[in-house]
Structure formats: C-alpha cells, structure tokens
Amino acid sequence: MTYCVGILVKEGLTMIADTRTNAGLDNVSQYKKLHIFEKPGDRMIAVATAGNLAITQAVLSFLNEGIENKDTGQMETIWTTPSMFKTAQLVGRAVREVYRIDGEALEQSNAGFEVTMLVGGQVAKGRLRLFMVYRQGNFIEATEDTPFLQIGEHKYGKPVLDRAITFATDLIEATKLGLISMDSTMRSNLGVGMPIDLVTVKRDAIAHDILHRIEAGEPYFHDLRERWSAALRAAYRAIPIPPYK
C-alpha cells in the first residue's frame, strides 16, 4: 500500500509520500515513491507513485529514457517537456506504453494493472500545477476549489484535509496538514510506513524549497504525532456528552 498527497496552494506546492511497499504482509520493502526532476530555473517536477511497483518503476524509466511523441516524431523525456500539461501527458503516455507491454499478462494473471501518479511542479515560464494521472493515462488537475489530490490509501487521511485545506492556506501550514494526514493514515494502515519523503516548491521559484526525508523517530515528526493525538483527546473530551434519553 501507499499514501501520497499533493497540495497546491496560492504560495506553492507540497508533496508528501511514504516509502513502504508490500507484496503480502510478509514481504515488506522500502522504495522511494517521490521522485524529483529538478533543473533550477528550467524545471522542478515531482512525481509521486502508487500501485504495482513493477509498473511504476517502468513508467519512471520511460520518463527518463524518453518516449517517441507520435505527433512530432521526437523522443520526449521528463527533462524536455515544454510545460506541466505536456509533462502530465508524457506521464500518461508512459503509463499507456507500460500497459501496452505488460497489461495483458497482468490482467490474465488477475494481478490487475494498478497505477496512479501525482505530477506536480513548474516548467520554465508556465504555471505551478498539480495533476493526478490515472491508470488509463488520462488525468485531472488540482484547482482553487479542490487544492489537494491523494493517491493510494487516501481515506483515513482525508477528513483533516477536507476540513482545513483551502487555496489560501500558507504553504508551510499545508505541509503540516499533509504530515498530519500522513500520520492518520499510518496509524490505521500498516501498509503505509516511515520514512516519509517531502518536497515543497514555492510558486515561480522553479526550484525546490524543502526537500527532506523524515526518518522514524525524528523529533519534529514525533512531536507532531504526540501533539495531534493529545489535541484530539482534549478536543473530544471538551465536547459535552450527548443529552439523549
């Protein structure tokens, strides 16, 4: 399992991903799911992945090695796309290419073809944008009305985002909320685990702001988890008991 969240606010973008992959409870490994493609001033793109590891790794290889653009005949990589929209399209084409190669075998074995990706960032003079690419290769975009997108095990960590995130939220506050959302998910699903990778990007900087891996036991995140638990306990205790009879 996996949990990744991307939040796009006025000030910038934050993306957070766990690193646990598992094929059964007795086969657990650590793999990076948050991939950075950064050339300051030219592009700062982050791709977060959920789904079958063989598929997501193959997609990433295609993004680096390139796929032929059938319209132009040119090889395109994630380092050469001229905009974030074209980047999301490229990721979608890479997903479709992997499906063309592996989809039939996976579906025949009932393994299914499962992959979802978040693609966020800014290219050259374009806008800072955040997309979610589906297994079919098409995608949606975060907007001012719905400024966050989640992939993987998204339900446990959604209520806190639903209540608190707006497009006007400060970037660092949005990052904190993303970490609280990750904490809620890790507490309820063993398939989502530490360390956690985090990147933030300020609008028009075209470079990362924070790029950090949170290891197990790290003091700030440990403190966040403790404070959030204590605050939730205090919050429900402060609510009057039901008056029903």
* CA dist 74 → 70, 92, 98, 179 (Å): 8, 17, 19, 40
Taking the complex as a whole, the smallest distance from the CB of residue 220 to a copy of itself amounts, in Å, to: 6
* Longest CA span, the chain: 73
Nearer to a copy of itself, 101 or 216 (CB): 216
Task: Supply the Cα-derived Rg of the chain in whole angstroms.
Answer: 19
Nearer to a copy of itself, 114 or 226 (CB): 226
Nearer to a copy of itself, 136 or 166 (CB): 166
Taking the complex as a whole, the smallest distance from the CB of residue 218 to a copy of itself amounts, in Å, to: 10
- Give residue 73's region: left, alpha or beta (phi > 0; psi -120 to 50): left
Please tell me whether residue 191 adopts helix, strand or coil conformation: coil
Taking the complex as a whole, the smallest distance from the CB of residue 241 to a copy of itself amounts, in Å, to: 5
Nearer to a copy of itself, 25 or 238 (CB): 238
Taking the complex as a whole, the smallest distance from the CB of residue 230 to a copy of itself amounts, in Å, to: 9
Query: Is the peptide bond prior to 195 cis by the omega test (within 30 degrees of 0)?
Result: yes
What angle, 0 to 180 degrees and rounded to 10, lies between the N-to-C axes of helices 171-188 and 219-238?
80
Taking the complex as a whole, the smallest distance from the CB of residue 40 to a copy of itself amounts, in Å, to: 16
Nearer to a copy of itself, 51 or 178 (CB): 178
Which residues make up the interface to a copy of itself (CB under 8 A)? 155-156, 158-160, 162-164, 172-173, 175-177, 179-180, 184, 187-188, 198, 210, 212, 214, 220, 223-224, 227-229, 231-245
Nearer to a copy of itself, 75 or 231 (CB): 231
Pairwise CA distance, residues 172 & 30, whole Å = 27
Taking the complex as a whole, the smallest distance from the CB of residue 130 to a copy of itself amounts, in Å, to: 19
Tokens 């400024």 belong to 147
Nearest 5°: the CA angle 212, 94, 197 is: 10
User: Which tokens hold the place of 88?
Assistant: 């999301």
Nearer to a copy of itself, 53 or 224 (CB): 224
Please return the burial class of 181, using the count of CB atoms within 10 Å of its CB with bins 0-12, 13-18 and 19+.
buried
Taking the complex as a whole, the smallest distance from the CB of residue 111 to a copy of itself amounts, in Å, to: 21
